[in-house]
Every structure is written in structure tokens, then in C-alpha cells.
Structure 1
């Protein structure tokens, strides 16, 4: 059994809808050998990261940067997992009011330092809220879980 960890900072109703969609996709009935753990970024522990086989990071764009919750996650977990989780398959979802470029750049820099492996380009849901964001998040969760299940990552 593989474990997918979704680390999310989702303070609003729309952000919670995206976390739910990520989770629903990852728990698709066709994928039966992946356990999904959803953790609030402010409460995620290094132990949870060490226990996972793949990770999805989800943050809002705040002042052209990641949320404070996601920054706190990296501050607490970076060094305890650095040497032990190199090569960890990861994906990123950013909910950006503008373009998400600064957020993406900051997280990519940290992930490079951790030596985690991107499984796809970051998904950036830009601009005003659109219901299609939910479907995109569901596809991301499903794709990540299916890749873990199939041993692709």
C-alpha cells in the first residue's frame, strides 16, 4: 500500500473545494492501493512526510508568494526530511489571484533543494474563481495516485 500526502493551506470555501477535489480524485474507485492523507500545512509533521510515497502541495498565492501556512510547513519539515526523502514524487497546485509566478518560483526553489521529483508541471488556477478549477484539481489528484499505484513514480 502506497501513501499520498496532500499538504494544503486552504482557508476559504473555494480552497476547501479544491482540497476536496484533489482528495476525491486521489481516492478514485479504480485506485485501490493508495491511501490518501490530507494534512493542513500548519499542522503537517516531518513524520507524515517521511511516511508518504508521494506528495501534493497546495497553496494560495499571497502577495506573489506562497501562503504563510505553506512557508511554515517548509520551515518545520525541510531539514528533518532533507536526507531521507530525496526523489519523493511531488506535484503542486497554486490558487493564484494574479499569475502565480512568484509562488511557483519560490516552491520550485525549495523542492529543488529537497531533491524531490516533479511528476508534472505545477497546476496554477489563475484569476477569478472558475468551476473548472475543481475538475483540474480532481485530475491532478487522480493522476498522482494512479502514477503511484502503477509504480510510474
Structure 2
């Protein structure tokens, strides 16, 4: 039975859709065969989706120095149902930040620290004006998480 990787990503623009799609493409790379990947909008993701996953990738925009309202809604609905049931869950975070992403990172990390999830790497913060390299960085993030999950690294 394949391991499950859940991607919960807010993608309100064409560029953020490209980032989300790159994470998904990396996670579904042909050489990674033992991982089933599900990608959901934060409004569609439920505690049950998280409970079925062995790892999660979170994606958000920087909105007024904080995470997107969509990702905040996901946490508001899922925090208490997950609190005692997902401790140690491996996760990664990527942020599309028009500024520096500091407040967004801090907001997400405060919540996942409360859930006792484990960061598998430093957050990927795609800062400043749009750059095409963001797409490749997100693809690599997706591949890294799926490959690590398949290999049993986490």
C-alpha cells in the first residue's frame, strides 16, 4: 500500500497555481512509485485528509504579513481534531511572498509547533518579484518530500 502525501495549497493567481502544480509534479515524479499524492485547496481539506497522510506540504501566499485566509481557515477547522492525533507528522512549507515572508512563516510555524508536526526542511520562501526559478524550487520541494517519504527517511 503506498504512503500518502497531502498537499494543501492556496493558489489564488496564475503564478501561485504554477507553484502548486510544480510541487505536485515533483511529488508525482515517475521515479517515485510508492507514494500516492493528493492536492487540495485549503477550503476542501479536512482533518480526515490529514489523518490519512504520512506527510503534508503546505503552500500559502503572504497576505498582509500573514498566511492566506484560506490556509488559516484550514487550520481553524482542523487544529483541534488533529491536535492529539498527528504529533510528529512530517511537513514542509512554501510561501509566495511579495515582501520577506517572515510574518507568514512565523504564523504557520506557531500553529504547526502547537500540533507538534516536524519540519523536514527550512521553509521555501519565494520572495520579491516573480522569478521563474520559483517554479523549479517548488518542483524540487515536492520531489524531496515524496522521495523522503517513499524511502522511509521520515
Q: Which residue of 2 aligns with 1:110?
A: 111
**Are 2:138 and 1:137 equivalent residues in the alignment?**
yes
Structure 1's unaligned 5+ residue stretches are none
TM-score (norm 1): 0.99
CA deviation vs aligned residue, 1:44-102 (integer Å, no higher than 9, x gap): 11110110000000000000000000000000000101111100000000000000000
**CA shift at 1:42, angstroms?**
1.1
TM-score (norm 2): 0.99
Q: Which residue of 1 aligns with 2:14?
A: 13
SS of aligned partner of 2:39:
strand
CA deviation vs aligned residue, 1:23-57 (integer Å, no higher than 9, x gap): 00000111000000001001111110110000000
Cα distance between partner residues in 1 of 2:97 and 2:107: 14
Structure 2's unaligned 5+ residue stretches are none
* Number of corresponding residues: 153
CA deviation vs aligned residue, 1:98-123 (integer Å, no higher than 9, x gap): 00000000111101000000000000
**Are 2:126 and 1:125 equivalent residues in the alignment?**
yes
SS of aligned partner of 1:62:
coil
Moved over 6 A (4+): none
